[in-house]
Amino acid sequence: MPLWLAAAEAARPAPRVNRILSTHLDGQSLLTASVAAAMVLGVGLLLYRTRWGIALRAVADNRVVAGMMGIDIRTTLPFAFALTAMLGSVAGCLVAPVFFAQFRMGQVILVKAFAAAVIGGLESIPGVFAGGVFLGVMESIVGGYVSSTYKDFFAFALLITVLVLRPMGILGGRRVEKD
């Protein structure tokens, strides 16, 4: 570690710790969790309570049929890309102080987010959220009671188990094949 970085790290004040029930959270974790919950709620309301959300879900389901039903795909797709860019940039700003901003800081987060989405069910927004919470709690339990070096092993073992037993995820629907 460079000397200037060590000096800056030593000069930084200790984070204030908030106690919620029996959990201790620093300010950054509390901010990250509250902003993430607000973003999940906002995206859920957008997708299920607005015309834009209906259009986004229709285009995601079948682009051709959505276009034939009168949805303007030329505006819906850029809106979807802008929305995901905004959500990703807010998430990146929230985790940058924790993971120290670097060019590959999102790799571990991306793999864990994909695992959580698959575990919960890719077609269900509540399932993806539940999969993320379940994976996070399971990793914390394994890290606390077994060893923190095995957190990733148990996370991916859970992913493989879910893929073998329920390929559509825990809350995902069943795929129906038509002849």
Q: Are residues 45 and 111 in the same domain?
A: no
Q: Are residues 112 and 84 in the same domain?
A: no
Q: Are residues 94 and 68 in the same domain?
A: yes
Percent of the chain with pLDDT over 90: 22
CA distances from 38 to 33, 35, 44, 123 (A): 9, 5, 10, 21
**Residue 22 belongs to domain spanning:** 17-100
Of 100, 122, 140, which residue sits at a domain end?
A: 100
Report how far residue 58's alpha carbon sits from residue 12's, in angstroms, rounded to the nearest whole number. Answer: 49
Residue 9 lies in a domain: no
Q: Are residues 85 and 133 in the same domain?
A: no
Residue 2 lies in a domain: no
Residue 85 lies in a domain: yes
Full-model pTM: 0.67
Of 100, 118, 152, which residue sits at a domain end?
A: 100
Residue 128 lies in a domain: yes
What's residue 59's pLDDT?
A: 92
Residue 3 lies in a domain: no
Q: Are residues 91 and 50 in the same domain?
A: yes
Report how far residue 11's alpha carbon sits from residue 62's, in angstroms, rounded to the nearest whole number. Answer: 55
Residue 5 lies in a domain: no
- Counted domains in the chain: 2
Reported as a pLDDT band with limits 50, 70 and 90, residue 150 is: confident
Q: Are residues 126 and 78 in the same domain?
A: no
Residue 1 lies in a domain: no
Of 51, 85, 100, which residue sits at a domain end?
A: 100
Reported as a pLDDT band with limits 50, 70 and 90, residue 46 is: very high
Report how far residue 133's alpha carbon sits from residue 117's, in angstroms, rounded to the nearest whole number. Answer: 10
Phi, psi of 23 (to 5 degrees): -110, 140
Q: Are residues 118 and 158 in the same domain?
A: yes
Looking at the predicted structure, is the pLDDT value of residue 136 above 90?
Answer: no
59, 72 contact by CB (below 8 A): no
